[in-house]
Structure 1
Protein backbone atom coordinates (compact mmCIF):
# COMPACT_ATOMS: atom_id res chain seq x y z
CA UNK A 1 0.00 0.00 0.00
CA UNK A 2 2.85 2.42 0.72
CA UNK A 3 4.17 1.83 -2.79
CA UNK A 4 0.78 2.50 -4.36
CA UNK A 5 0.28 5.67 -2.35
CA UNK A 6 3.71 6.89 -3.44
CA UNK A 7 2.82 6.19 -7.07
CA UNK A 8 -0.32 8.31 -6.89
CA UNK A 9 1.74 11.32 -5.74
CA UNK A 10 3.98 11.44 -8.81
CA UNK A 11 3.82 14.02 -11.58
CA UNK A 12 0.50 13.89 -13.48
CA UNK A 13 2.11 12.44 -16.61
CA UNK A 14 3.13 9.38 -14.62
CA UNK A 15 0.15 9.05 -12.29
CA UNK A 16 -1.41 5.63 -12.50
CA UNK A 17 -5.06 4.79 -12.47
CA UNK A 18 -4.57 1.39 -14.04
CA UNK A 19 -1.37 -0.64 -14.24
CA UNK A 20 1.17 0.22 -17.44
CA UNK A 21 5.50 -0.75 -20.09
CA UNK A 22 8.32 0.96 -21.40
CA UNK A 23 10.82 1.57 -24.03
CA UNK A 24 13.23 4.25 -22.92
CA UNK A 25 14.80 7.00 -24.93
CA UNK A 26 18.55 6.67 -25.07
CA UNK A 27 19.91 9.46 -22.81
CA UNK A 28 23.11 9.79 -24.81
CA UNK A 29 21.09 10.13 -28.00
CA UNK A 30 18.83 12.70 -26.36
CA UNK A 31 21.77 14.71 -25.10
CA UNK A 32 23.30 14.58 -28.52
CA UNK A 33 20.20 16.03 -30.15
CA UNK A 34 19.70 18.99 -27.88
CA UNK A 35 23.06 19.52 -26.24
CA UNK A 36 21.70 20.20 -22.77
CA UNK A 37 23.71 22.77 -20.88
CA UNK A 38 25.00 22.23 -17.36
CA UNK A 39 23.11 23.86 -14.51
CA UNK A 40 26.18 25.80 -13.40
CA UNK A 41 28.64 27.12 -15.94
CA UNK A 42 31.63 29.42 -15.95
CA UNK A 43 31.70 32.02 -18.70
CA UNK A 44 34.38 34.70 -18.82
CA UNK A 45 35.35 33.93 -15.26
CA UNK A 46 31.84 34.33 -13.86
CA UNK A 47 29.47 31.58 -12.80
CA UNK A 48 26.06 31.89 -14.43
CA UNK A 49 23.08 30.61 -12.45
CA UNK A 50 19.57 30.17 -13.78
CA UNK A 51 17.41 32.62 -11.86
CA UNK A 52 14.10 31.54 -10.37
CA UNK A 53 11.26 33.97 -11.03
CA UNK A 54 8.50 31.47 -10.34
CA UNK A 55 5.86 30.85 -12.98
CA UNK A 56 5.40 34.25 -14.59
CA UNK A 57 1.85 33.52 -15.78
CA UNK A 58 -0.18 30.40 -15.12
CA UNK A 59 -3.13 31.14 -17.40
CA UNK A 60 -4.44 28.11 -19.26
CA UNK A 61 -7.27 28.65 -21.77
CA UNK A 62 -10.23 26.42 -20.89
CA UNK A 63 -10.68 23.33 -23.04
CA UNK A 64 -14.27 24.28 -23.80
CA UNK A 65 -15.98 27.64 -24.18
CA UNK A 66 -19.32 28.25 -22.45
CA UNK A 67 -22.34 28.39 -24.67
CA UNK A 68 -23.21 31.84 -25.98
CA UNK A 69 -26.61 31.33 -24.37
CA UNK A 70 -24.81 31.94 -21.06
CA UNK A 71 -23.57 35.27 -22.34
CA UNK A 72 -21.86 36.40 -19.11
CA UNK A 73 -19.59 33.35 -18.90
CA UNK A 74 -19.04 33.28 -22.66
CA UNK A 75 -17.98 36.94 -22.69
CA UNK A 76 -15.54 36.50 -19.78
CA UNK A 77 -13.85 33.47 -21.34
CA UNK A 78 -13.55 35.22 -24.69
CA UNK A 79 -12.09 38.31 -23.02
CA UNK A 80 -9.55 36.30 -21.00
CA UNK A 81 -8.48 34.33 -24.05
CA UNK A 82 -8.12 37.49 -26.13
CA UNK A 83 -6.08 39.20 -23.41
CA UNK A 84 -3.83 36.14 -23.13
CA UNK A 85 -3.36 36.08 -26.93
CA UNK A 86 -2.24 39.71 -26.90
CA UNK A 87 0.16 39.03 -24.02
CA UNK A 88 1.48 35.99 -25.91
CA UNK A 89 2.25 38.12 -28.97
CA UNK A 90 4.03 40.65 -26.77
CA UNK A 91 5.93 37.84 -25.03
CA UNK A 92 7.10 36.32 -28.33
CA UNK A 93 8.10 39.78 -29.53
CA UNK A 94 10.17 40.36 -26.40
CA UNK A 95 11.79 36.92 -26.66
CA UNK A 96 12.77 37.66 -30.27
CA UNK A 97 14.08 41.08 -29.30
CA UNK A 98 16.03 39.98 -26.24
CA UNK A 99 17.42 36.68 -27.54
CA UNK A 100 20.97 37.75 -28.29
CA UNK A 101 22.32 34.33 -29.24
CA UNK A 102 19.48 32.23 -30.63
CA UNK A 103 16.51 33.64 -32.49
CA UNK A 104 13.02 32.34 -31.73
CA UNK A 105 11.76 29.64 -34.05
CA UNK A 106 8.42 28.17 -33.03
CA UNK A 107 8.87 24.93 -34.99
CA UNK A 108 12.28 24.27 -33.50
CA UNK A 109 11.05 25.17 -30.02
CA UNK A 110 8.09 22.76 -30.21
CA UNK A 111 10.34 19.93 -31.34
CA UNK A 112 12.78 20.56 -28.47
CA UNK A 113 9.94 20.93 -25.96
CA UNK A 114 8.34 17.62 -26.90
CA UNK A 115 11.63 15.69 -26.76
CA UNK A 116 12.58 17.31 -23.45
CA UNK A 117 9.19 16.35 -21.99
CA UNK A 118 9.67 12.72 -23.07
CA UNK A 119 13.20 12.68 -21.68
CA UNK A 120 11.98 13.94 -18.31
CA UNK A 121 9.30 11.24 -18.04
CA UNK A 122 11.67 8.52 -19.19
CA UNK A 123 14.41 9.63 -16.79
CA UNK A 124 11.97 9.88 -13.89
CA UNK A 125 10.59 6.40 -14.54
CA UNK A 126 14.00 4.75 -14.40
CA UNK A 127 15.40 7.05 -11.68
CA UNK A 128 18.05 8.76 -13.81
CA UNK A 129 18.84 11.82 -11.70
CA UNK A 130 21.64 12.99 -13.97
CA UNK A 131 19.36 13.34 -16.98
CA UNK A 132 16.62 14.87 -14.84
CA UNK A 133 19.04 17.55 -13.71
CA UNK A 134 19.93 18.26 -17.33
CA UNK A 135 16.35 18.68 -18.60
CA UNK A 136 14.75 20.31 -15.52
CA UNK A 137 15.40 23.52 -13.67
CA UNK A 138 15.98 23.50 -9.92
CA UNK A 139 12.37 23.59 -8.70
CA UNK A 140 11.19 20.75 -10.93
CA UNK A 141 14.32 18.69 -10.38
CA UNK A 142 14.00 19.02 -6.61
CA UNK A 143 10.36 17.94 -6.75
CA UNK A 144 11.09 14.84 -8.85
CA UNK A 145 14.19 13.95 -6.85
CA UNK A 146 12.18 13.98 -3.63
CA UNK A 147 9.63 11.64 -5.23
CA UNK A 148 12.42 9.28 -6.25
CA UNK A 149 13.53 9.06 -2.62
CA UNK A 150 10.19 7.46 -1.70
CA UNK A 151 10.77 4.48 -3.99
CA UNK A 152 12.16 1.26 -2.65
CA UNK A 153 12.75 -2.07 -4.39
CA UNK A 154 10.50 -1.26 -7.34
CA UNK A 155 11.14 -0.81 -11.05
CA UNK A 156 9.19 1.64 -13.16
CA UNK A 157 8.70 1.23 -16.90
CA UNK A 158 7.27 4.06 -18.99
CA UNK A 159 6.43 4.13 -22.68
CA UNK A 160 5.47 6.94 -25.02
CA UNK A 161 2.94 5.98 -27.70
CA UNK A 162 2.68 9.21 -29.68
CA UNK A 163 0.48 12.28 -29.66
CA UNK A 164 -3.23 12.57 -29.15
CA UNK A 165 -2.84 16.13 -30.45
CA UNK A 166 0.26 18.08 -31.46
CA UNK A 167 1.86 20.19 -28.70
CA UNK A 168 0.37 23.68 -28.49
CA UNK A 169 1.75 26.88 -27.01
CA UNK A 170 -0.84 28.38 -24.65
CA UNK A 171 1.11 31.04 -22.75
CA UNK A 172 4.29 33.05 -23.48
CA UNK A 173 5.89 35.56 -21.14
CA UNK A 174 9.22 37.35 -20.87
CA UNK A 175 10.68 39.29 -17.96
CA UNK A 176 14.02 40.40 -16.58
CA UNK A 177 16.02 43.08 -14.89
CA UNK A 178 16.20 45.62 -17.70
CA UNK A 179 12.70 46.35 -18.97
CA UNK A 180 12.71 46.75 -22.76
CA UNK A 181 16.49 47.05 -22.97
CA UNK A 182 18.54 44.27 -24.53
CA UNK A 183 21.07 44.55 -21.73
CA UNK A 184 20.76 42.84 -18.34
CA UNK A 185 19.28 39.45 -17.48
CA UNK A 186 16.08 38.23 -19.16
CA UNK A 187 14.19 34.96 -19.16
CA UNK A 188 11.44 33.63 -21.36
CA UNK A 189 8.76 31.20 -20.21
CA UNK A 190 6.51 29.23 -22.53
CA UNK A 191 3.67 26.99 -21.37
CA UNK A 192 2.98 24.09 -23.72
CA UNK A 193 -0.10 21.90 -23.79
CA UNK A 194 1.05 18.29 -24.08
CA UNK A 195 -1.64 15.75 -24.99
CA UNK A 196 0.05 12.36 -25.39
CA UNK A 197 -0.48 8.61 -25.21
CA UNK A 198 1.45 6.92 -22.41
CA UNK A 199 1.62 3.65 -20.52
CA UNK A 200 3.21 2.79 -17.22
CA UNK A 201 3.99 -0.32 -15.18
CA UNK A 202 5.60 -0.86 -11.79
CA UNK A 203 7.31 -4.12 -10.78
CA UNK A 204 8.65 -5.33 -7.46
CA UNK A 205 12.14 -6.74 -6.95
CA UNK A 206 10.90 -10.17 -8.10
CA UNK A 207 9.66 -8.58 -11.34
CA UNK A 208 6.01 -9.02 -10.41
CA UNK A 209 3.58 -6.39 -11.65
CA UNK A 210 2.28 -4.43 -8.65
CA UNK A 211 0.74 -1.38 -10.32
CA UNK A 212 -0.08 -0.09 -13.75
CA UNK A 213 -0.70 -2.10 -16.89
CA UNK A 214 1.90 -2.59 -19.64
CA UNK A 215 -0.91 -3.02 -22.18
CA UNK A 216 -3.15 -0.10 -21.21
CA UNK A 217 -2.48 3.18 -23.02
CA UNK A 218 -3.80 6.31 -21.37
CA UNK A 219 -4.31 9.77 -22.82
CA UNK A 220 -2.47 12.30 -20.65
CA UNK A 221 -2.96 16.06 -20.93
CA UNK A 222 -0.50 18.36 -19.15
CA UNK A 223 0.58 21.97 -19.27
CA UNK A 224 4.37 22.16 -19.04
CA UNK A 225 6.31 25.39 -18.41
CA UNK A 226 9.64 25.76 -20.22
CA UNK A 227 12.18 28.44 -19.35
CA UNK A 228 15.35 29.77 -20.94
CA UNK A 229 17.75 32.57 -20.04
CA UNK A 230 17.61 34.68 -23.20
CA UNK A 231 20.83 36.56 -22.50
CA UNK A 232 22.92 33.45 -21.80
CA UNK A 233 24.58 31.99 -24.91
CA UNK A 234 24.87 28.53 -23.33
CA UNK A 235 21.39 28.14 -21.88
CA UNK A 236 18.69 25.96 -23.47
CA UNK A 237 14.97 25.49 -22.92
CA UNK A 238 14.37 23.39 -19.80
CA UNK A 239 11.32 22.38 -17.81
CA UNK A 240 10.56 24.79 -15.00
CA UNK A 241 7.39 23.08 -13.79
CA UNK A 242 3.76 22.41 -14.61
CA UNK A 243 0.55 24.34 -14.19
CA UNK A 244 -2.85 22.83 -13.70
CA UNK A 245 -5.94 24.28 -15.37
CA UNK A 246 -8.09 25.71 -12.63
CA UNK A 247 -11.85 25.89 -12.60
CA UNK A 248 -12.97 29.18 -14.05
CA UNK A 249 -14.69 31.50 -11.58
CA UNK A 250 -17.25 33.89 -12.94
Structure 2
Protein backbone atom coordinates (compact mmCIF):
# COMPACT_ATOMS: atom_id res chain seq x y z
CA UNK A 1 0.00 0.00 0.00
CA UNK A 2 1.32 3.42 -0.94
CA UNK A 3 2.27 5.68 1.94
CA UNK A 4 3.54 9.23 1.59
CA UNK A 5 7.09 10.00 2.73
CA UNK A 6 7.44 11.57 6.17
CA UNK A 7 7.17 15.32 6.27
CA UNK A 8 10.23 17.09 7.64
CA UNK A 9 8.15 18.71 10.36
CA UNK A 10 7.52 15.21 11.73
CA UNK A 11 11.25 14.54 11.66
CA UNK A 12 11.92 17.76 13.53
CA UNK A 13 9.57 16.79 16.36
CA UNK A 14 12.29 14.46 17.54
CA UNK A 15 14.08 17.55 18.86
CA UNK A 16 11.48 17.64 21.63
CA UNK A 17 12.12 14.14 22.92
CA UNK A 18 15.00 11.70 23.49
CA UNK A 19 13.07 9.30 21.25
CA UNK A 20 12.99 10.49 17.63
CA UNK A 21 9.70 10.38 15.86
CA UNK A 22 9.97 8.94 12.34
CA UNK A 23 6.51 8.48 10.96
CA UNK A 24 4.46 9.16 7.93
CA UNK A 25 2.18 11.68 9.60
CA UNK A 26 -0.82 13.36 7.98
CA UNK A 27 -0.31 16.21 5.54
CA UNK A 28 -2.40 19.32 5.87
CA UNK A 29 -2.89 22.60 4.10
CA UNK A 30 -0.41 25.25 5.14
CA UNK A 31 -1.61 27.55 7.90
CA UNK A 32 0.09 30.90 8.13
CA UNK A 33 0.48 33.15 11.14
CA UNK A 34 -0.48 36.77 10.72
CA UNK A 35 2.24 39.30 11.41
CA UNK A 36 1.89 40.59 14.97
CA UNK A 37 2.15 44.21 13.84
CA UNK A 38 -0.82 43.69 11.54
CA UNK A 39 -2.76 42.01 14.36
CA UNK A 40 -2.11 44.98 16.66
CA UNK A 41 -3.17 47.42 13.95
CA UNK A 42 -6.43 45.55 13.34
CA UNK A 43 -7.25 45.72 17.05
CA UNK A 44 -7.07 49.52 17.08
CA UNK A 45 -10.12 51.72 16.73
CA UNK A 46 -10.70 53.63 13.48
CA UNK A 47 -9.43 56.89 14.99
CA UNK A 48 -6.31 55.17 16.36
CA UNK A 49 -5.61 53.56 13.00
CA UNK A 50 -5.93 56.93 11.22
CA UNK A 51 -3.62 58.53 13.78
CA UNK A 52 -0.97 55.84 13.27
CA UNK A 53 -1.20 56.10 9.49
CA UNK A 54 -0.86 59.89 9.70
CA UNK A 55 2.30 59.56 11.77
CA UNK A 56 3.74 56.99 9.35
CA UNK A 57 2.97 59.24 6.40
CA UNK A 58 4.62 62.22 8.12
CA UNK A 59 7.71 60.11 8.84
CA UNK A 60 7.81 58.98 5.22
CA UNK A 61 7.66 62.62 4.04
CA UNK A 62 10.67 63.48 6.22
CA UNK A 63 12.59 60.33 5.20
CA UNK A 64 11.83 59.67 1.50
CA UNK A 65 14.59 57.06 1.15
CA UNK A 66 13.24 54.90 3.98
CA UNK A 67 10.37 52.49 3.39
CA UNK A 68 8.34 52.54 6.58
CA UNK A 69 5.77 50.19 5.05
CA UNK A 70 8.12 47.26 4.57
CA UNK A 71 6.88 45.24 7.49
CA UNK A 72 6.89 41.44 7.56
CA UNK A 73 5.46 40.48 4.18
CA UNK A 74 2.64 37.96 4.01
CA UNK A 75 3.16 34.69 2.22
CA UNK A 76 2.13 35.19 -1.40
CA UNK A 77 -0.12 32.81 -3.32
CA UNK A 78 2.55 30.15 -3.74
CA UNK A 79 1.13 26.86 -4.95
CA UNK A 80 1.99 23.28 -4.05
CA UNK A 81 1.32 21.15 -7.16
CA UNK A 82 -2.01 19.33 -6.98
CA UNK A 83 -2.33 15.64 -7.94
CA UNK A 84 -4.41 15.04 -11.06
CA UNK A 85 -4.69 11.24 -10.99
CA UNK A 86 -4.30 9.91 -7.45
CA UNK A 87 -3.80 11.42 -4.01
CA UNK A 88 -2.39 9.43 -1.08
CA UNK A 89 -2.98 6.25 -3.08
CA UNK A 90 -6.64 6.99 -3.74
CA UNK A 91 -8.16 7.83 -7.14
CA UNK A 92 -9.63 11.29 -7.55
CA UNK A 93 -13.03 12.22 -8.86
CA UNK A 94 -13.29 13.78 -12.30
CA UNK A 95 -14.23 17.17 -10.84
CA UNK A 96 -11.22 17.12 -8.49
CA UNK A 97 -8.92 16.16 -11.36
CA UNK A 98 -10.19 19.05 -13.48
CA UNK A 99 -9.95 21.55 -10.61
CA UNK A 100 -6.43 20.42 -9.73
CA UNK A 101 -5.32 20.56 -13.35
CA UNK A 102 -6.66 24.12 -13.73
CA UNK A 103 -5.01 25.20 -10.44
CA UNK A 104 -1.69 23.82 -11.67
CA UNK A 105 -2.05 25.66 -14.96
CA UNK A 106 -2.82 28.95 -13.22
CA UNK A 107 0.31 28.49 -11.13
CA UNK A 108 2.30 27.77 -14.30
CA UNK A 109 1.26 31.03 -15.95
CA UNK A 110 1.89 33.01 -12.75
CA UNK A 111 5.36 31.46 -12.64
CA UNK A 112 6.05 32.65 -16.18
CA UNK A 113 4.83 36.17 -15.42
CA UNK A 114 6.95 36.36 -12.25
CA UNK A 115 10.03 35.07 -14.10
CA UNK A 116 9.51 37.68 -16.82
CA UNK A 117 9.26 40.40 -14.19
CA UNK A 118 12.42 39.19 -12.44
CA UNK A 119 14.32 38.92 -15.70
CA UNK A 120 13.24 42.40 -16.75
CA UNK A 121 14.47 43.79 -13.43
CA UNK A 122 17.64 41.67 -13.68
CA UNK A 123 16.82 40.24 -10.27
CA UNK A 124 17.48 36.55 -10.91
CA UNK A 125 20.53 35.57 -8.83
CA UNK A 126 23.63 34.66 -10.79
CA UNK A 127 22.03 35.32 -14.19
CA UNK A 128 22.42 38.29 -16.52
CA UNK A 129 19.16 38.89 -18.38
CA UNK A 130 19.55 41.85 -20.77
CA UNK A 131 16.43 40.62 -22.56
CA UNK A 132 13.57 39.29 -20.46
CA UNK A 133 11.48 37.56 -23.13
CA UNK A 134 13.59 34.43 -23.49
CA UNK A 135 12.91 30.67 -23.11
CA UNK A 136 14.40 30.82 -19.61
CA UNK A 137 11.22 32.34 -18.18
CA UNK A 138 9.27 29.20 -19.15
CA UNK A 139 11.61 26.79 -17.34
CA UNK A 140 10.76 27.51 -13.71
CA UNK A 141 10.55 23.82 -12.82
CA UNK A 142 13.77 22.88 -14.60
CA UNK A 143 16.52 21.10 -12.64
CA UNK A 144 19.09 21.68 -15.38
CA UNK A 145 22.37 23.31 -14.38
CA UNK A 146 22.01 25.69 -17.32
CA UNK A 147 18.49 26.94 -16.52
CA UNK A 148 17.97 30.50 -15.32
CA UNK A 149 16.75 29.13 -12.00
CA UNK A 150 19.86 26.97 -11.41
CA UNK A 151 21.70 29.54 -9.21
CA UNK A 152 18.58 30.04 -7.09
CA UNK A 153 18.22 26.28 -6.68
CA UNK A 154 21.82 26.08 -5.46
CA UNK A 155 21.19 28.91 -2.98
CA UNK A 156 18.10 27.08 -1.72
CA UNK A 157 20.00 23.81 -1.25
CA UNK A 158 22.80 25.54 0.67
CA UNK A 159 20.33 27.44 2.85
CA UNK A 160 18.39 24.25 3.59
CA UNK A 161 21.55 22.47 4.72
CA UNK A 162 22.80 25.37 6.85
CA UNK A 163 19.49 25.96 8.61
CA UNK A 164 18.92 22.37 9.68
CA UNK A 165 22.52 21.91 10.77
CA UNK A 166 22.09 25.08 12.83
CA UNK A 167 18.90 23.65 14.31
CA UNK A 168 20.69 20.47 15.33
CA UNK A 169 23.60 22.48 16.80
CA UNK A 170 21.34 24.97 18.58
CA UNK A 171 22.89 27.80 16.56
CA UNK A 172 20.27 30.52 17.07
CA UNK A 173 22.39 33.15 15.32
CA UNK A 174 22.45 31.25 12.03
CA UNK A 175 18.74 30.43 12.32
CA UNK A 176 17.89 34.12 12.68
CA UNK A 177 20.20 35.00 9.79
CA UNK A 178 18.73 32.48 7.33
CA UNK A 179 15.04 32.39 8.32
CA UNK A 180 12.28 34.92 8.79
CA UNK A 181 8.87 34.91 10.48
CA UNK A 182 6.97 32.73 10.98
CA UNK A 183 9.57 30.03 10.38
CA UNK A 184 12.07 31.59 12.78
CA UNK A 185 9.53 31.36 15.59
CA UNK A 186 8.80 27.75 14.67
CA UNK A 187 12.45 26.71 14.90
CA UNK A 188 13.02 28.65 18.11
CA UNK A 189 10.05 26.84 19.65
CA UNK A 190 11.63 23.53 18.67
CA UNK A 191 14.87 24.54 20.37
CA UNK A 192 13.05 25.52 23.55
CA UNK A 193 11.21 22.20 23.61
CA UNK A 194 14.38 20.15 24.04
CA UNK A 195 13.99 18.06 27.16
CA UNK A 196 17.59 18.10 28.36
CA UNK A 197 20.56 20.44 27.89
CA UNK A 198 22.83 17.39 28.06
CA UNK A 199 21.68 16.06 24.71
CA UNK A 200 23.55 16.56 21.45
CA UNK A 201 21.79 16.31 18.11
CA UNK A 202 23.35 15.18 14.85
CA UNK A 203 21.50 15.83 11.60
CA UNK A 204 22.94 14.22 8.48
CA UNK A 205 21.92 14.88 4.90
CA UNK A 206 22.99 11.77 3.01
CA UNK A 207 21.76 12.45 -0.51
CA UNK A 208 19.15 14.05 -2.73
CA UNK A 209 16.55 11.64 -4.07
CA UNK A 210 15.68 14.29 -6.64
CA UNK A 211 17.32 17.70 -7.11
CA UNK A 212 15.70 20.69 -5.39
CA UNK A 213 12.98 22.02 -7.67
CA UNK A 214 11.21 25.36 -7.80
CA UNK A 215 7.50 24.60 -8.08
CA UNK A 216 6.11 28.09 -7.59
CA UNK A 217 7.55 31.61 -7.70
CA UNK A 218 5.97 35.02 -7.11
CA UNK A 219 7.13 38.61 -7.04
CA UNK A 220 5.52 41.88 -5.97
CA UNK A 221 6.63 45.45 -5.31
CA UNK A 222 7.32 45.41 -1.60
CA UNK A 223 9.22 48.67 -1.12
CA UNK A 224 6.70 51.51 -1.19
CA UNK A 225 8.95 54.37 -0.14
CA UNK A 226 8.50 57.50 -2.22
CA UNK A 227 12.21 57.90 -2.89
CA UNK A 228 12.86 54.29 -3.83
CA UNK A 229 15.60 52.09 -2.36
CA UNK A 230 19.27 53.08 -2.62
CA UNK A 231 20.21 49.43 -3.14
CA UNK A 232 18.66 46.96 -5.58
CA UNK A 233 15.00 47.46 -6.46
CA UNK A 234 11.53 47.41 -4.94
CA UNK A 235 10.77 43.73 -5.53
CA UNK A 236 10.01 41.01 -3.00
CA UNK A 237 10.62 37.51 -4.35
CA UNK A 238 9.21 34.33 -2.87
CA UNK A 239 10.00 30.89 -4.26
CA UNK A 240 8.56 27.56 -3.15
CA UNK A 241 11.16 24.80 -3.34
CA UNK A 242 10.54 21.06 -3.23
CA UNK A 243 13.25 19.17 -1.32
CA UNK A 244 13.38 15.38 -1.59
CA UNK A 245 16.27 13.95 0.41
CA UNK A 246 17.61 11.05 2.43
CA UNK A 247 18.50 12.18 5.94
CA UNK A 248 18.80 11.03 9.53
CA UNK A 249 18.62 12.56 13.00
CA UNK A 250 20.51 11.06 15.94
CA UNK A 251 20.62 12.09 19.59
CA UNK A 252 23.69 11.58 21.77
CA UNK A 253 24.59 12.19 25.38
CA UNK A 254 27.43 14.58 26.21
CA UNK A 255 29.59 11.51 26.68
CA UNK A 256 28.95 10.53 23.06
CA UNK A 257 26.58 7.64 23.73
CA UNK A 258 23.70 7.18 21.29
CA UNK A 259 20.44 7.85 23.12
CA UNK A 260 18.03 7.51 20.23
CA UNK A 261 17.23 4.03 18.83
CA UNK A 262 19.72 2.54 16.39
CA UNK A 263 17.05 2.90 13.69
CA UNK A 264 17.54 6.67 13.87
CA UNK A 265 20.88 6.20 12.10
CA UNK A 266 19.13 4.74 9.06
CA UNK A 267 18.56 7.42 6.40
CA UNK A 268 14.89 8.20 5.87
CA UNK A 269 13.29 9.84 2.88
CA UNK A 270 11.95 13.32 3.63
CA UNK A 271 9.97 15.36 1.12
CA UNK A 272 8.95 18.91 1.95
CA UNK A 273 8.11 22.29 0.48
CA UNK A 274 9.81 25.40 1.86
CA UNK A 275 9.18 28.99 0.79
CA UNK A 276 12.26 31.20 0.51
CA UNK A 277 12.08 34.99 0.42
CA UNK A 278 14.37 37.79 -0.72
CA UNK A 279 13.81 41.54 -0.43
CA UNK A 280 15.84 43.03 -3.23
CA UNK A 281 16.55 46.34 -1.50
CA UNK A 282 18.42 44.64 1.37
CA UNK A 283 21.95 43.25 1.22
CA UNK A 284 20.80 40.10 2.99
CA UNK A 285 20.66 36.39 2.11
CA UNK A 286 17.66 34.43 0.93
CA UNK A 287 15.66 33.30 3.96
CA UNK A 288 13.28 30.42 4.66
CA UNK A 289 9.90 31.95 5.42
CA UNK A 290 7.38 29.14 5.71
CA UNK A 291 6.77 25.45 5.20
CA UNK A 292 3.84 24.39 3.03
CA UNK A 293 2.20 21.00 2.68
CA UNK A 294 0.58 18.87 0.03
CA UNK A 295 -3.07 17.96 0.18
CA UNK A 296 -3.80 14.88 2.26
CA UNK A 297 -6.32 13.85 -0.37
TM-score (norm 1): 0.72
Structure 2 contact 222–235 (Cα < 8 Å) conserved: yes
Aligned equivalents of 1:47, 1:177: Cα separation in 2 = 9
Please, which runs of 5 or more residues in structure 2 have no aligned partner? 1-7, 14-19, 24-64, 128-147
Aligned equivalents of 1:57, 1:224: Cα separation in 2 = 13
Please, which runs of 5 or more residues in structure 1 have no aligned partner? 1-9, 20-44
Structure 2 contact 214–240 (Cα < 8 Å) conserved: yes
Residues 103-145 of structure 1 deviation map (CA, whole Å, 9 limit, x = unaligned):
6541100011001101111110111112112211243222212
Residue 14 (structure 1) aligned with residue 12 (structure 2): yes
Structure 1 contact 12–222 (Cα < 8 Å) conserved: no
Partner of 1:75: 98
1:1-250 equivalences in 2 (<5 Å):
11-12=9-10, 14-15=12-13, 16-18=20-22, 51-63=71-83, 65-66=85-86, 70-99=93-122, 105-151=148-194, 152=196, 153-177=198-222, 185-211=234-260, 213-232=263-282, 234-247=283-296
- Other structure's SS at 1:11 match: helix
Aligned equivalents of 2:204, 2:238: Cα separation in 1 = 27
Q: 1:100 to 1:226 in 2, by over 3 A?
A: closer
TM-score (norm 2): 0.62
For structure 1, which segment, 165-174 or 51-60, has the greater mean C-alpha deviation from structure 2 after superposition? 51-60
Q: 1:134 to 1:47 in 2, by over 3 A?
A: farther
Q: 1:139 to 1:62 in 2, by over 3 A?
A: same
Which structure has the larger Rg over C-alpha atoms? 2
Partner of 1:32: none
Q: CA RMSD in A?
A: 3.4
Say which structure is richer in strand: 1
Matched pairs, number: 212
Higher relative contact order (CA 8 A, sep 6+): 1
For structure 1, which segment, 94-103 or 126-135, has the greater mean C-alpha deviation from structure 2 after superposition? 94-103
Q: 1:244 to 1:70 in 2, by over 3 A?
A: closer
Deviation at 1:57, TM superposition (A): 1.8
